[in-house]
Amino acid sequence: MTSLLGEPLPVEFPIDGDWRPAVLLGWRHEPDGTCWVRVQAVVGGLRRASWVHLADLRLPQPDRATPAPEPRTRPDLQLPGPGRSRRALTPLPPLPVPRSLQPDTSWA
């Protein structure tokens, strides 16, 4: 079996004619060329893991997919330019003197 190293991949698989959300945990290749995937889903309030044929799996549809995370940067944020007020910068504290430049007082 080959397992995923990162976060489990969200997928959907059919149960009783309805697509249910699950996560992909890993997969295996059979000698006849088929591929089976290990999925984990909540069925009847209990977490279940099972082997499913790859053909019975799909990626989540956009209406059921989880919302995209907020970006870590703000590309739409406008920086202050000419004519806009700028926030006053606070001065940084002075850097400490490196040990290599401090006087040796161990023999005093």
Q: Which two tokens stand for residue 6?
A: 């990162």
Question: What's the mean pLDDT in 37-66?
Answer: 83
Which of the two residues, 69 and 56, has the higher pLDDT score? 56
pLDDT tens digits along 19-44:
889 999 888 999 998 999 999 888 77
Indicate the domain borders of the chain.
Answer: 2-56
Query: Three-state DSSP class for 7?
Result: coil
Neighbours of 91 (CB within 10 A): 6
- Given this model, what pLDDT does residue 9 score? 86
Strands 2-3 and 9-15: unpaired
Q: What is the pLDDT of residue 102?
A: 76
DSSP string computed for 51-63? EEEGGG-BPPPTT
Burial of 22 (0-12, 13-18, 19+ CB in 10 A): buried
